[in-house]
Structure 1
Amino acid sequence: MSVELIRAFLLKSKASKRQTFLNDLFKSMDKDHSRKIDYHEFKQGLFHLGLTDLTEAEIRKLFSDFDTKKDGKIDYTEFVTALRPQLPQIRLKAIDEAFRKLDVNNDGVLSIEDFRIVYIEQAKKHPKCLDGTWTIEQALRSFLDAFDTPGKADGIVTMEEFHNYYAIISATIPDDSYFVFLMNSCFNS
């Protein structure tokens, strides 16, 4: 069994159509809430998914494929990177263009400062700002956190995190042209 086969198995799942599926799956496997999945948690997670006919050798190989840092644990980035669908070049180009458009200060990451410039008007119109529940800064942080690694939001969004976010969305849109159209519409590219 390979990572590609598990990815295909998961993409067939109705639950995988939700944007938060990989986050939910990671959390369900991380039984000790350490934000890392050890071998035992990984094995139990595969069984819970219904992958009960895997041999011990296949499970160990899969774990090794996911554990790219080779530290005996799978962190969220390793997990999502292994399972996110491979993006066609046309989609990667659209995602990269959107990232560059948001990275106003050209430092290679998205931060609250970038979002303050790009999204200030949208933040002012956010329903929670309009009713006084949130400040504009809280609305901007909410926008930024949508792209940040779930459970590990640090206020900085890397290109990898941005790719992970859009790879999951991409899996729900079968047509490349439509995906590019949506990205261009969202980011005025």
Structure 2
Amino acid sequence: MSVELIRAFLLKSKNSKKQTFLNDLFKSMDKDHSRKIDYHEFKQGLFKLGLTDLTEAEIRKLFNDFDTKQDGKIDFTEFVNALKPQLSPTRLKAIDEAFRKLDVNNDGVLSMEDFRVVYMEQAKRHPKCKDGTWTTEQALRSFLDAFDTPGRADGIVTMEEFHNYYAIISASIPDDSYFVFLMNSCFGS
């Protein structure tokens, strides 16, 4: 069994249409909440997914394919990088253009400063801001955190994190031109 077959299996799941699918899957496998999956957790996670016919050697090979740092644990970045679908050049271009539009200060990362410029009006209209539950800063942070690495949100979104976010969304949109249309609609291209 290869990582590609696992990816295909997961993407066929009806749950994979949710933006948070890989995050939820990672959390469900990370039983000790260490933000890393060890071999035992990985094996149990595969079994819970219904992949019960894998041999010990196949599971070990899969684990090693995911564990690119070769430290005996799979962190979230390794997990997503292994499972995210490959993006076509057309989709990559649309994602990169959106990132550049959001990166107002052109420092190569997305931060609260960028989001204040781009999303302040949307933050003010957020339902939780309107009802007084959140401040606009909290709404902006929730927008930013959507792109940040789950479990390691540091308030900075790198290009890699932005690609990971949209690679997962991209998996549920079969047509490149429709994906580009959606990106342009969201980011005003």
Distance 1:16 1:129 in 2: 30
Provide the C-alpha distance between the structure 2 equivalents of 1:123 and 1:15, rounded to a whole number of angstroms: 28
> 1:83 corresponds to which letter in structure 2?
L
Q: Which residue of 2 aligns with 1:173?
A: 173
- How far apart are the structure 1 equivalents of 2:49 and 2:62? 14
Identity %: 89
Q: Does 1:150 align with 2:150?
A: yes
Partner amino acid for 1:104?
Answer: V
* Structure 1 residue 52 displacement after superposition: 1.2
* Alignment RMSD (CA, Å): 0.9
**After the TM superposition, which residues 14-33 of structure 1 pair with which residues of structure 2 at under 5 Å, given as runs?**
14-33=14-33
Which whole-Å CA distance do the structure 2 matches of 1:11 and 1:128 have between them?
32
2:45 alignment partner AA: G
Q: Provide the C-alpha distance between the structure 2 equivalents of 1:34 and 1:77, rounded to a whole number of angstroms.
A: 14
Matches for 1:15-164 after TM superposition, within 5 Å: 15-164=15-164
Q: C-alpha distance in 1, partners of 2:157/2:172?
A: 22
Deviations 1:9-55 (CA, angstroms, capped at 9, x unpaired): 11111111111111111011101110000011101111111111111
Code of the residue aligned with 2:23 in structure 1: it is N
* TM-score, structure 1 normalization: 0.97
Deviation per residue, 1:71-128 (Å, 9 max, x gap) = 1100011101100111111001100110011011111110000001111111122222
In structure 2, distance between residues paired with 1:16 and 1:136: 31
SS of 2:173's partner is coil
Opposite residue 71 of structure 1, the aligned amino acid is D
Counterpart amino acid of residue 80 in structure 1: V
Q: Could you tell which deviates more after superposition, 145-154 or 178-187?
A: 145-154
State whether structure 2 residue 19 is matched by structure 1 residue 5: no
Q: Which whole-Å CA distance do the structure 2 matches of 1:16 and 1:120 have between them?
A: 31
Deviation at 1:60, TM superposition (A): 1.0
Name the stretch that deviates more: 127-136 or 113-122.
127-136
1:131: how far off? 2.1
